[in-house]
Amino acid sequence: MSQLQQYAILFGLTVGTLGLVLSLYALARAIGKTRKEPGKDVPATAGQLSRDPVWVRYHARYTTFALLFLAFDMEMAFMYPWAVVYKEEGLVALLDMGVFLAILFLGLLYGWSQSALKRQ
Amino acid sequence: MFGSREFSKPNLLHGLIGRATGNDLRVLVVPGPELALAGGLDLMDAGLRMASGPRDANVLLLLPPLGDKMLNAASVAFAQMPRPRAIVALGVKNISPLPEADIYGELSQAGLIESVNSLRLHFAQNSFSNSVQSFDAPALQSRIEYTCPMHPEVVSNQPGSCPKCGMDLVPRETGTDTGQPEEKSVQKTQSSSNAAHAHSSHVKTAPAEVDHGEHKKADGESGDATAKYTCPMHPEVVSDEPGSCPKCGMFLEPVKAESDHGSHSHGSHSHESESSVSKLIGLEPGFMSMIEMTEGTPRSSDGLQMEWITVPFGPFFPGLPAGFGLELTLDGDNVAKATTSSFCGFSDSLENGPINAGDYVENLQGQMPLAPLTYRLLACRAIEAAAEKTSENDNLRDATLAQERIASQLRWLTNLGRQLGLKGIERKAAKLQLLIIGADYEQIIKLTPELSQFIKKVKATPFLRRRLDAVGELPPQSNWDGPQSIENNAAGRLVARLDDISQSLALIKKAGAIGEIKLAEIGNAAGHGHASVDTARGKANLHVELKGGQVISAKLDTPSMRHTELVAPLTDQQELGDALVAIASIDISPWEMRV
Amino acid sequence: MTLELVVTLIIAAAMFGTGIYGALSQTNLVMIMMGIELILAAALLNLVAFWRYLHPDAIEAQMFVLIVMTVMAVEMAVGFAVAITRFRSRGSVEMEEAQELKG
Amino acid sequence: MSVQVIFLLAFGLAAVWFGIVVFRTHSMVRSALALLFSQTAVGAMFLVMQAEFLGVLQIMMMATEMSIMAIFMVMFMMDPGGLGEMDMKHQRKLSLWAGIIAFGGASGLALFGDWGPIATQIPDAGEQVRLLGIELLGRSMLIFESAGLTILTAMIAATSIAVQPPHRPKETPDKSKEPYQVHNHGGAA
Amino acid sequence: MSSFVLIASLIFATYGVAVIEEWVSTNRLRLAGPLISTLRLLGQENILPRKSDRLFFEVGPVLLLIAALLSLAVIPLAPGLIVTDLATGALFFNAALAYVLVAMIMAGWGPDGAYGMIGGWRFLGQLIAYAMLVVMPITTVAMRAESLSTIDIVNSQEMLWNIAYQPLGFLLFLFAGMAMAFVPPFDLPVASGELAGGVEAEYTGVRLIIFRLGRMVLILSVSSAIVVFYLGGWLGPFGPDWSWSMIKILGVAALMLSGGRMLPRIREATLLAWSWKLGIPLALANIFLVGVLVLVVPL
């Protein structure tokens, strides 16, 4: 099966799931309508109505983890091709990737020492 | 009629769905699962599963006692439950804002099982019916109030312009006051400022420009030598360099000392950049400056000025005590401020004149459903002290008190298990609690090995101590008289409560029998009496004044009243999950809080 | 066959144009970085199109794509670090209010 | 008009349309996720062009990175929910013209440049990954290591800028009554 | 014919995971349980929150289901029984599961509810903790198999399963897999004790069916990935090969669901700290260990 056919199957799988979901929605709509009642469509917070909008500038505490993750994530892109050819290349591949991983680990250690790996 | 979904002629599929709904019941217990356990009802055994919120539930189970604030909250929860839904009332007759209950049963395990079976029938028959009515309740009405985007504390009922900054007020929907548990404090917190974004009007160069310029920004690095830096929260902390305040870690803000007003001419501080934002060169008119918006807001611990939201963790929050109204101001997922209230506090029953001693004892016991016998003992002892009489079976009474303490600690463990996701502990503690509550002396002795084996299992739960020992650090001089523990954190309190169970078991074994708590015969004695009882949550004391066999005045001081002040320091700047576990670890009973 | 190459290049050009419009018109630092991301994505698209249709044997093109992806990630990391510091000291990352950073 | 062109056009138009939505929508999270789906459409175009490893990599990397961009946008932009319909743009005319000229130039180049023979013979997916691996360890080892160094400098730069130096007062402050003098010996000038 | 068998076995496995999940959480084995709760939810009203972001509210659960199904597309139940045998199958599994995060952010941000929003952004923090720990063990598995295709990976475990060959990688991948499928003790976004249902709080009716179905397929795909990468896929001493992979998948799912229940829910700060300070160094050590092992041991 050539590659393009495989991607076509994946695309078909996605469209098939969308079809399943839409048919389920149609079945649910056929079963009955949702009745509009006061207070029903307000976000439910455990017995009280919270009407104020909640879309605020959410203060995430893992910002420094995120920065380190953005840079560290790239290492994965280089590791997959290396892993595939590793057995052929033998020792030079191990040393090569060793240097690469050591460099990245250095960055991680620096972050660790600057207390970036903590809940800010 | 208020529970079923509308469909003209229900067909086979609707019947099937009705039967399926009947077999998969998700219950939202009002006031809370602890009440069911205290009343000896085993919901799991009856085939009901706990719902985590109103959207997840299809059965509303009402248990006595129910105040009107609790009923208002129940009507809000019922309104938010998706149809088909049903109301089951056990041992409760008048549930005014809620519609007529679908099934009435009496408050016992047999009554519960019988009402669950009739509930399955009810769902099978009229999950779908053609005559349906909308449910409405006073707590659901909403009215429009107007508030200024820049100053959330300015609130008025009709449109106009804000007295402080002249911007026109923005409509905002809010509940009518009858629905809210207590007066919404006028000083709304940050939350309404994000409603500010509903305003599309541009920033007018309002008179308030003047004070912007004065407020010099704390440019952390290039602090010039003459400026003084002080901490916004601790003005007495004064330092001549930028940094963070040793007391609270907040960033030190530059203060406008008189001496340096004229002298600052340092490069980066050119006077021109000091002028207000809107006079910056090259700025398009109508530019919505963000500096103005984030200027006044307090800084979080990592120096960023973020917006806070006020989120209610209301009466039916799984994991928190039932009926405990908690409102947290969240900065991200850190708690910045916590305000507590109670949906079912007790009220002094002496407003309408003195009542005789026997009724006072029954009345106090009725108001405290989570610890009825404890407060009955407290009332009897206080009245007997006032009448200088001593009851003969005092040590047997202590055995009853110990039995109730064990039941209360086991309910606390169920709550902790539900909050931390430990289903095994939650189920086992509930089962043991149901056995203990109805047991007489021999049964308790037979239960002792099972109980101590369960205590060992809880202590051996992997990672439980590690999860709890960083949480719930009580401030040093706080008046905490609950179970004393060596380590001052949630893990210490867990171990203290487990030891409390074993001590109570030993006490019951020593007492030899469980005594019935009856008020000694006092005739028409008079005088002052004081008594104090060591309840599961701490020391409760009652001061009673008797005249002619009648109680004229009584002053009750319960542990939960004192411990609610601990909630704020306990949860300050804590992560949300830790704050909730800390609150659960001090085991507040909203029934013991004043209304 | 050149039709596919030209179609891809035109789409990459359209993304490039959108990226430039975005980067120049937005006032917020983070939105400007999104514009740059779009420009880099257009560059990626061109690279892969050239590799696929013109020189499939030159595997260096794929290596070049990996490097451009690294640039995207690194640029975002440092950009957000600058945004955090600026927000901490000034309270906003609107470029309009960054006049004092001018030379 | 082979199947490939149709899919290329479909995903391409989706990518460009999401790119435009990024700057037109008011809600910040919508704009961040629009960019995410634009990058995913670009990844899908790589798949259509049979560069499987790059396409799957692009789809994966961009999902996590653009979500992180979404949280940073929510943290630093004024009205993340888009309730206020605020328009945060300036120098509209200039940027519009710059965009059109850029598009015109690039597409002109694409249309009128002669690209020479179109290759039809492409290594299959597994082969591509293997060749890339050998290339990585062979000729482009220096590029591979310098990419590592770039990532290292990015990590160090990001951490040193973003993380506040921990402020610990040098010695415990004394409890005297007069105003609280904090003595930072040798602190930052 | 084989595609019909494949679809039937996937549906059976998802139903099996749903039965195990209900059995673990209510201590009652009810084979018709998932069917009954699906019918109940089908009959429930579909409430739309008032000022919600309608697009996110609708797309969230559907994207979760599509991401989980796409990640299942590269999992082989038997040598021929696979939806698409991509040459970069292991990478595609990881790419598909990255969109679980996007779905959770949409489902959290959409309905404008406090619990959902906090749950959604918490899951992004959780991703930052587990993402690297998913990637590096897959690299070592690919190292041994010299290819990213999942069928080659299973064939490479002919002599010795990867759980014995690289146990450290197995433990890290199990830890990261449970965090990826937000199975308790890592159920931060949908914590019922802390956030009253979190991201699921605002969903009712048929959208909740899609959300729960997506979650079950996600648990199935994570446990089948563990089986394919570490427990030798369909390799088994005797009997039909697809039965082996089915038994192993349901076994791993049961292990994940019941094992996790015994631990208290982890704090997000602890999860991040542990995975960055202990997880990533261990993963790097695992790469070196396996690197040497692959060169030395002829297996």
Instruction: Give the CATH number of the domain where residue C59 resides.
Output: 1.10.287.3510
In a domain, residue B91? The reply is yes
Nearest-CA distance from D172 to chain A in Å? 22
Question: Per residue in B84-130, pLDDT tens?
Answer: 999 999 988 888 888 888 899 988 999 999 999 999 999 998 888 88
CB contact under 8 A, A49 and B575: no
Residue D171: pLDDT band (50, 70, 90) is low
Q: Any contact of B with E, at least 3 CB pairs below 8 A?
A: yes
Average of pLDDT values for B396-424?
91
Residue B110, token pair as written in the block: 């047999």
H or E stretch at E39 = helix E33-43
Residues facing residue D180 across a β-bridge = B237
Average pLDDT for chain B: 79
Total of domains in chain C: 1
Residue B177: pLDDT band (50, 70, 90) is low
| DSSP character string of B407-460 | HHHHHHHHHHHHHHT-HHHHHHHHHHHHHHHT--HHHHHHHHHHHHHHHHHHHT
Contacts of E122 in chain B (CB under 8 A): 333
CA dihedral C65, C67, C70, C75 (to 10 degrees): -100
Contacts of D81 in chain A (CB under 8 A): 53, 55-56
Residue found by looking up tokens 């079950």 in the block:
E216
What's the one-letter identity of residue B507? L
- Say whether both D8 and D67 belong to one domain: yes
In a domain, residue B359? The reply is yes
Of A32, A60, A61, the CB nearest to B5: A32
Q: In this model, does residue D31 exceed pLDDT 70?
A: yes
- Say whether both B32 and B168 belong to one domain: no
Task: Give the model's pLDDT for residue E257.
Answer: 93
Q: Pairing mode, if any, of strands B237-239 and D180-181?
A: parallel
- Say whether both B392 and B470 belong to one domain: yes
Average pLDDT for chain E: 92
- Say whether both B97 and B241 belong to one domain: no
Q: Any contact of C with E, at least 3 CB pairs below 8 A?
A: no
Task: Give the model's pLDDT for residue B205.
Answer: 33
Of E191, E201, E268, the CB nearest to B421: E191
Read off the CATH number of the domain in which B418 is found: 1.10.645.10
Average pLDDT for chain A: 90
Contacts (Cβ under 8 Å, ≥6 apart) of B248 = B231, B233, B234
Residues spanned by the domain of B246: 223-260
Residue E87, token pair as written in the block: 């040459």
Ranking B249-263, B581-595, E209-223, E237-251 by mean pLDDT, the lowest is B249-263
Query: What are the Cα distances from residue B25, in Å, to B56, B98, B418, E191?
Result: 10, 20, 18, 20
Average of pLDDT values for E272-294?
94
- Say whether both B87 and B164 belong to one domain: no
Nearest-CA distance from A106 to chain E in Å? 11
Q: Does D86 touch chain A (CB under 8 A)?
A: no
Question: Per residue in D133-159, pLDDT tens?
Answer: 999 998 899 999 999 999 999 999 999
CB contact under 8 A, B309 and E114: yes
Q: Could you say which DSSP state residue E275 is in? A: I
Residue found by looking up tokens 């080659």 in the block:
E152
Q: In this model, does residue B161 exceed pLDDT 90?
A: no
Residues spanned by the domain of D45: 1-76
Question: Of A4, A51, A84, A113, which to mutate for an interface test with D (greatest number of D Cβ within 10 Å)?
Answer: A84
What chain B residue is nearest to E38 in terms of C-alpha separation? B20
H or E stretch at E143 = helix E114-145
Q: Does C80 touch chain A (CB under 8 A)?
A: yes
Question: Of D77, D94, D182, D185, which to mutate for an interface test with B (greatest number of B Cβ within 10 Å)?
Answer: D182
Q: Does B173 touch chain D (CB under 8 A)?
A: no
Its sign, for the CA torsion C50, C52, C55, C61, is: positive
Q: In this model, does residue B195 exceed pLDDT 50?
A: no
Question: Per residue in E177-199, pLDDT tens?
Answer: 999 999 989 999 998 888 888 89
Nearest-CA distance from A111 to chain B in Å? 16
Average pLDDT for chain D: 85
Task: Give the model's pLDDT for residue B229.
Answer: 63
Task: Give the model's pLDDT for residue B270.
Answer: 32
Q: Pairing mode, if any, of strands A48-49 and B527-535?
A: unpaired
What distance in Å separates the CA atoms of residue E118 and residue E116, rounded to the nearest whole number? 6
Residues facing residue B310 across a β-bridge = B329
CB contact under 8 A, C77 and A67: yes
Higher pLDDT, C79 or A55: C79
Total of domains in chain D: 2
Task: Give the model's pLDDT for residue B121.
Answer: 93
Residue B295 near residue C91 (C-beta atoms within 8 A): yes
CB contact under 8 A, A110 and D137: no
Task: Give the model's pLDDT for residue B386.
Answer: 84
Q: Pairing mode, if any, of strands B86-90 and B59-62?
A: parallel
CA dihedral B67, B72, B73, B76 (to 10 degrees): 160
Average of pLDDT values for B426-437?
93
Residue B435, token pair as written in the block: 């056995």
CB contact under 8 A, D188 and B194: no
Residue B10: pLDDT band (50, 70, 90) is confident
What chain E residue is nearest to A116 in terms of C-alpha separation? E273
Residues facing residue B26 across a β-bridge = B49
Task: Give the model's pLDDT for residue A63.
Answer: 92
With contact defined as 3+ CB pairs under 8 Å, the chains touching D are A, B, C, E
In a domain, residue C101? The reply is no
Q: In this model, does residue B553 exceed pLDDT 80?
A: yes
- How large a percentage of chain B has pLDDT more than 70? 80
CB contact under 8 A, C100 and B273: yes
Q: Can you tell me whether residue B175 is helix, strand or coil?
A: strand
Task: Give the model's pLDDT for residue B232.
Answer: 56
Within 10 Å of residue C58's Cβ, how many Cβ atoms?
13
Ranking B524-528, C2-6, D31-35 by mean pLDDT, the lowest is B524-528
Residues facing residue B594 across a β-bridge = B346
Q: In this model, does residue B280 exceed pLDDT 50?
A: no
Average of pLDDT values for B16-33?
92
Contacts of C89 in chain B (CB under 8 A): 217-221
Task: Give the model's pLDDT for residue A25.
Answer: 94
Residue A64 near residue A116 (C-beta atoms within 8 A): yes
Calculate helix-pair angle for C2-25, C29-53, nearest 10 degrees: 170
Q: What ranges do the domains of chain A cover? A: 1-34, 61-120
C-alpha of B189 from chain center = 19
H or E stretch at B338 = strand B334-342
Selected residues 62-91 of chain A with any CB under 8 Å from a CB in chain B: 63
Average of pLDDT values for B26-51?
91
Nearest-CA distance from E211 to chain A in Å? 11
Average of pLDDT values for B192-196?
39
Higher pLDDT, B267 or B546: B546
Q: In this model, does residue E260 exceed pLDDT 70?
A: yes
Residues spanned by the domain of C14: 2-96
In a domain, residue D109? The reply is no
Residue found by looking up tokens 């109301």 in the block:
B87
Selected residues 26-65 of chain E with any CB under 8 Å from a CB in chain B: 26-27, 33, 35-37, 39-40, 42-47
- Say whether both D5 and D65 belong to one domain: yes
Task: Give the model's pLDDT for residue B287.
Answer: 59
- Say whether both D68 and D129 belong to one domain: no
Average of pLDDT values for B309-317?
89
Q: Does D144 touch chain A (CB under 8 A)?
A: yes
Ranking A14-23, A59-68, B189-198, B383-392 by mean pLDDT, the lowest is B189-198
What distance in Å separates the CA atoms of residue E283 and residue A55, rounded to the nearest whole number? 37
Task: Give the model's pLDDT for residue A24.
Answer: 94
Query: Which runs of consecutive H residues, i.e. helices, occur in chain C?
Result: 2-25, 29-53, 60-90
Task: Give the model's pLDDT for residue B201.
Answer: 33
Q: In this model, does residue B256 exceed pLDDT 60?
A: no
Of D76, D151, D160, the CB nearest to A104: D151
- How large a percentage of chain C has pLDDT more than 90? 68
What distance in Å separates the CA atoms of residue D55 and residue D48, rounded to the nearest whole number? 9
Total of domains in chain B: 4
What chain D residue is nearest to E108 in terms of C-alpha separation? D29
Question: Per residue in C26-66, pLDDT tens?
Answer: 888 999 999 999 999 999 999 999 999 998 888 999 999 99
Residue D185: pLDDT band (50, 70, 90) is very low
Residues facing residue B89 across a β-bridge = B62, B104
Q: In this model, does residue D121 exceed pLDDT 70?
A: yes
Question: Per residue in E102-138, pLDDT tens?
Answer: 999 999 999 988 999 999 999 999 999 999 999 999 9
CB contact under 8 A, D15 and C94: no
In a domain, residue C103? The reply is no
CB contact under 8 A, B291 and C90: yes
Q: Pairing mode, if any, of strands B550-557 and B538-547?
A: antiparallel
In a domain, residue D12? The reply is yes
Question: Per residue in D56-87, pLDDT tens?
Answer: 999 999 999 999 999 999 998 877 877 777 77
- Say whether both B516 and B419 belong to one domain: yes
- Say whether both B120 and B145 belong to one domain: no
Selected residues 71-90 of chain A with any CB under 8 Å from a CB in chain C: 71, 73-74, 77-78
- Say whether both B232 and B119 belong to one domain: no
Task: Give the model's pLDDT for residue C23.
Answer: 92
Average of pLDDT values for B422-431?
92
Q: In this model, does residue B202 exceed pLDDT 70?
A: no
What distance in Å separates the CA atoms of residue A14 and residue B125, rounded to the nearest whole number? 39
Q: In this model, does residue B181 exceed pLDDT 50?
A: no
Contacts (Cβ under 8 Å, ≥6 apart) of D75 = A57, A58, A59, A60, A63, B304, B306, C87
- Say whether both B395 and B522 belong to one domain: yes
- Say whether both B79 and B174 belong to one domain: no
Task: Give the model's pLDDT for residue B276.
Answer: 41
Establish whether the linkage from the previous residue to B372 is cis, with ω within 30° of 0.
no
Question: Per residue in D106-120, pLDDT tens?
Answer: 999 989 888 888 888
Task: Give the model's pLDDT for residue B268.
Answer: 33
- Say whether both B115 and B170 belong to one domain: no
